[in-house]
Structure 1
Amino acid sequence: MRPFPIERCCNGDRARAQLACDDDRRFACAMRQLADVARTEPQRVAVFLQPLFAPFAADMLLRACRSLSLVDVWISCAARYCAALPTRDERRNFFGYIRWHVDDSEYACMTERHAAEWHQLRARRATGTTRTK
């Protein structure tokens, strides 16, 4: 599985000509590829989805994941993304923003997962170890 090319166009011909895609086109392409990964390599969905939180809005990713029945994977990736944000204010803003897009049970699950991810990340930083996946 190839990672999604976040910084350039995913169309090889356009990329060779150094043409950029607009955000809407890149998002549509990423979601088509996400659907393909979900269909052909479901165990790799989280690996594909995780880096998409940086360039794309979390609620847009959530809508796409809802349509593909991947909300649980989205929650896991969103919690990991949020836990890695460097400041408490950034984490609070992310949760405040996403709260409008999830129901109570999804929010509770995300809060629980985020706490686990945050503690695990901080423990690794304290010991100097890194996660390998």
Structure 2
Amino acid sequence: MAPRFPIERCCCNPERARIQLACDDDRRLACAMRQLGVVARTDPQQAAAFLQPLFSPFAADMLLQACRSLGLVDVWISCAARYCAARPTRDERRNFFGYIRWHVDDAEYALLTERHAAEWHRLRAGRATETK
């Protein structure tokens, strides 16, 4: 199981968090991406599990930029598709795609839309079987 980034803490450093010192978002993102790099090197199969929860506290384009530098764009695309598919409304999903379109090339966008469609159907199929 991939280590989790301590999103709920004001700082990812336990000693700073213990005395309630906060980090700004840029420092928290840097810590998260440093830890993602370690996970990707030591246990690449867990990179997506580590990255997925980071879509809530951090902007998708910032995560993409960091993942580009780590060579993890494919992992980002899978996680972004899952994150977007889980958005409860069509408007939220459209806004996500409209926002992220400026940050990806055509091939990445095509892959993102393909994975998003598959993930959206997977999530909705799970809900349909739960109600029966």
- Mark the runs of 5 or more structure 2 residues left unpaired by the alignment: none
Shift of 1:2: 2.3
Deviations 1:49-98 (A, max 9, x none): 00000000101100111111111110000000000001000000000000
Equivalent position to 1:97, from 96, 99, 106:
99
**Equivalent residue letter for 2:40:** A
**Aligned residue number for residue 64 of structure 1:** 66
- Superposed, 1:1-133 pairs within 5 Å as 1-8=2-9, 9-128=11-130
Give the % identical residues. 82
Count, aligned residues: 129
**Equivalent residue letter for 1:47:** A
Deviations 1:29-49 (A, max 9, x none): 001101111111111000000
Q: TM-score, normalised by structure 2?
A: 0.94
| Distance in 1 of aligned mates of 2:42 and 2:32 | 15
Question: Structure 1: which 4+ aligned runs deviate by more than 2 Å?
Answer: none
- Mark the runs of 5 or more structure 1 residues left unpaired by the alignment: none
| Distance in 2 of aligned mates of 1:105 and 1:127 | 33
| Distance in 1 of aligned mates of 2:28 and 2:45 | 23
**Equivalent residue letter for 2:5:** F
SS in structure 2 opposite 1:108?
helix
SS in structure 2 opposite 1:36?
helix
| Distance in 2 of aligned mates of 1:85 and 1:3 | 22
Shift of 1:123: 0.6
Q: TM-score, normalised by structure 1?
A: 0.94
Q: Cα RMSD (Å) of the superposition?
A: 1.1
